[in-house]
């Protein structure tokens, strides 16, 4: 029985190392052979579910290749309560055990869905709080006259990533969501840059 380890960071400047180390430590501590672990990784926001690594993990789960999913923390799977719960229900319905290493949660029994619901709810609240604090900070900086937005010439996202997603056959809306871009004209500029 193969274990699937899922790790995710939100931006290109972040590394998967800490998550990989903690999951490996948990696996070794529970007697699992690291050679039998399949790693699935993403470097993009958890605000949406269309991610390459997660898609590959789901394909392996539903093909019956993975019976245990080990994650660093539940919010690595999803930041949205609804999407996180739906993902977890899909895994539980497929008979998959889900272990969250840092939260010390083993979601394999009847209470798994209830516990995960609470945890994903907290992740959803945390994301909303981050956005509220960011908006409040920007508003205060504008009032003080010290905030003028992003400097001209800087980019919110990576144009190379936009082109890579397009090459994978992703639709413009999916690319915009993956990169946090709100304007189709910005996306068009990213896709046309060389």
Catalytic residue set:
10
| Angle of the 112-144 helix axis to the 81-93 helix axis, nearest 10 | 160
Rounded Cα distance between 91 and 68, Å, is: 9
CB atoms within 10 A of CB 107: 23
DSSP H or E segment with residue 57 = helix 52-62
- Measured in residues, the chain has a length of 194
Three-state secondary structure call for residue 186: helix
For 87, list phi and psi in degrees, rounded to 5.
Answer: -65, -45
Contacts of 91 (CB under 8 A, 6+ apart): 61, 69, 98
């Amino acid at each position: 029985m193969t274990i699937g380890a899922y790790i995710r960071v939100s931006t290109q400047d972040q590394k998967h190392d800490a998550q990989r180390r903690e999951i490996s430590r948990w696996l070794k501590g529970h007697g699992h052979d690291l050679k039998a672990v399949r790693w699935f990784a993403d470097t993009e926001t958890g605000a949406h579910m269309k991610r390459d690594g997660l898609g590959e993990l789901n394909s392996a789960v539903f093909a019956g290749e993975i019976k245990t999913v080990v994650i660093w923390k539940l919010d690595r799977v999803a930041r949205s309560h609804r999407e996180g719960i739906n993902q977890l229900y899909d895994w539980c319905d497929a008979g998959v055990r889900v272990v969250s290493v840092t939260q010390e949660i083993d979601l394999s029994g009847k209470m798994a869905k209830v516990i995960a619901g609470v945890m994903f709810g907290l992740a959803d609240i945390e994301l909303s709080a981050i956005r509220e604090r960011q908006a409040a900070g920007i508003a205060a900086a504008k009032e003080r006259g010290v905030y003028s937005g992003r400097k001209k010439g800087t980019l919110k996202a990576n144009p190379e990533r936009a082109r890579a997603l397009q090459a994978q056959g992703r639709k413009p809306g999916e690319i915009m969501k993956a990169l946090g871009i709100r304007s189709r004209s910005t996306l068009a500029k990213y896709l046309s840059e060389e």
